Amino acid sequence: IDWTEGRGWHSATLGPRQPLSLDPATAVLHYAQEIFEGMKAYKLDDGTMALFRPEQNARRFNASADRLAMPHLPEEAFVEAVRQLVLADKDWFPTVEGGSLYLRPFMFASEAFLGVRPAKQYKFLVIASPAGNYFKSGVPAVSIWVSGDYTRAAPGGTGAAKCGGNYAASLVPQANATARGHDQVVFLDAVERKWVEELGGMNLFFAFDDGSLITPPLTGTILPGITRESLLQLAREEGLQVREERYSIDQWRADAESGRLLETFACGTAAVVTPVGRVAGHDGEFTIGSGGAGQVTTRLRERLVAIQRGIAEDKHGWVMRLD
Ligand code: PMP
């Protein structure tokens, strides 16, 4: 779908994937006015294709658009575009156990000009790609590296927006984590360099021996994850004492070593819920709990996956069936 100033959204098309042809002066190539979403379509037991809380992706997309001076796409148009693509791609749905169709809605400045101002033309597209089960078997714990050199987002920056530039800036810290033998990078806040924020593509939760569960608050520097928000609700229903609260790297280590912290897990659309087993940084390493998936992690993961797959009752109305 195209957007032109003075005209709004127009020229929606659905068709096979094909290359885009862009003028070398296309604004996105120079000033990175680009935002995206990541979502999955699941096949329910009765064969119906379904989306998980797509209106939340639409809402976050428009919040990202606001931050990058881009036009809103009405929520209904966003969801309808995704719905039509999924139905058109039904036959590409992976047949493997736990498979899904990964969906990537995105929008970029398509006007050709050189100059720093919001573009007057945009393109919104959605691509679909079959995805196998994120983990081949079970849910292995990941080991993460605390980036001491780099932060992901500064106050007043674009941390709460899902824009490509945020991910460009996280490539070096992620590569550093991988080079040291860890799976993921974890970022601290940019001001005090002590508050734990999130991973490169997942939010974090901490579960304690007194039944409390905390996750860093949405202060504008972390992405408001839809999995995070869903788990907050499920955890409250499970009777956990849930708090959105800042948690420091020193406290994390102290609590892991004293045994007060039982579990840490990361969450996001791609992997749903993943236990964090080991944490390393420039001043050493520590293990969390047994180093594997604990009870809270396992229970919340199972509950969320069961809702997404249409196995458990969907009392929040999170699953949108596509007929
Ligand atoms: N943080 C970042 C930086 C991410 O890229 C993602 C993935 N979208 C998340 C958190 C998790 O968000 P969600 O649960 O909506 O996938």
From the CA atom positions of the chain, what is the Rg in Å? 20
Q: What is the pLDDT of residue 136?
A: 61
Q: pLDDT of 98-148, one tens digit each?
A: 789 999 999 999 999 999 999 999 999 999 999 887 666 568 899 999 999
Domain with CATH 3.20.10.10 in the chain: 142-308
- How many Å apart are CA 59 and CA 76, to the nearest integer? 10
Cβ(107) – ligand 1 distance below 6 Å: no
> Hey, what CATH class is 2-131 in?
alpha beta
- Ligand 1 atom closest to Cα of 227? 14
Q: Kindly give the distance from the C-alpha atom of residue 202 to the centroid of ligand 1, in angstroms, as a whole number.
A: 5
Q: What is the pLDDT of residue 91?
A: 84
- How many Å apart are CA 40 and CA 50, to the nearest integer? 9
> Hey, what CATH class is 142-308 in?
alpha beta
pLDDT above 70 coverage of the chain, percent: 98
- Ligand 1 atom closest to Cα of 37? 8
Q: How many residues does the chain have?
A: 323
Q: What is the pLDDT of residue 138?
A: 67
106: β partners: 36, 125
Nearest to 3 by CA among 126, 122, 125: 122
Q: pLDDT of 26-56, one tens digit each?
A: 999 999 999 999 999 999 888 899 999 999 9
Cβ(40) – ligand 1 distance below 6 Å: no
What are the per-10-residue average pLDDT scores of the chain (323 residues)? 98 95 98 97 90 98 98 98 95 80 97 97 96 73 95 97 97 96 96 97 98 97 98 97 98 97 96 96 92 94 94 96 91
Domain with CATH 3.30.470.10 in the chain: 2-131
Cβ(227) – ligand 1 distance below 6 Å: yes
Q: What is the pLDDT of residue 299?
A: 97
